[in-house]
Amino acid sequence: MATASAGGMELALFTDGVLAVDHARFGFPEINHGLLPADKGIQRAVKLLGAHTARNLLLTGEIFGIRRAVDIGLVERVVEPDRLLTVAVERARTLAAKPAVLYAALKWSVNKPVDEDDGESLRATLSAAENYFDDPAAAAARARWSGRRDR
């Protein structure tokens, strides 16, 4: 049985996407064992799953199946067990083909604290633009996009 609980659940929350098989199970069972998840994992669960869902999962210690994992946005795609590795490698190749500097800037923006003020957000946006504007891979992506747009 494929289970991502406790630290495995936290790891799933920090990935760029979760592929899972139909019999996968997930959860934060720590409360049932006299433990707590890491605070960073708790905060990530709140950010990605919402406070109500995260609170429910953390306080009950429930282990749940794939249907709920998809419903709450934890799992993005259910894959047949014999295709899981192939699909994961295909997805990794697709993402790896993106300009690394743009990928990193997007990940930073998605993962940054939500309470950042507008001035900090503007500075971060300008700093990211400085970093990627002259990057060869990003420039090539813009050139390809411009070429397609003109048709």
Give the tens place of pLDDT for each residue, 89-125: 999 999 999 999 889 888 888 887 666 667 776 777 7
Q: Taking a C-beta distance cutoff of 8 angstroms, is the pair 64, 26 a contact?
A: yes
80 classed as catalytic: no
Cβ neighbours, 10 Å, residue 130:
9
Q: What is the pLDDT of residue 114?
A: 65
Residue predicted with more confidence, 23 or 34 = 23
**Is-catalytic flag, 120?**
no
Residue 17 makes CB contacts below 8 A (sequence gap 6+) with: 76, 77, 91
Query: Radius of gyration (Cα) for the chain, nearest Å?
Result: 19
Selecting among 10, 76, 90, 130, the annotated active-site residue is 10
> pLDDT tens across 31-80, in order?
988 888 888 889 889 999 999 999 999 999 999 999 999 999 999 999 99
Lowest-confidence segment of 23-27, 64-68, 72-76, 138-142 by average pLDDT: 138-142
Q: What is the pLDDT of residue 39?
A: 86
The confidence band for 151, taking pLDDT boundaries of 50, 70 and 90, is: very low
* Catalytic residue from among 30, 62, 116, 120: 30
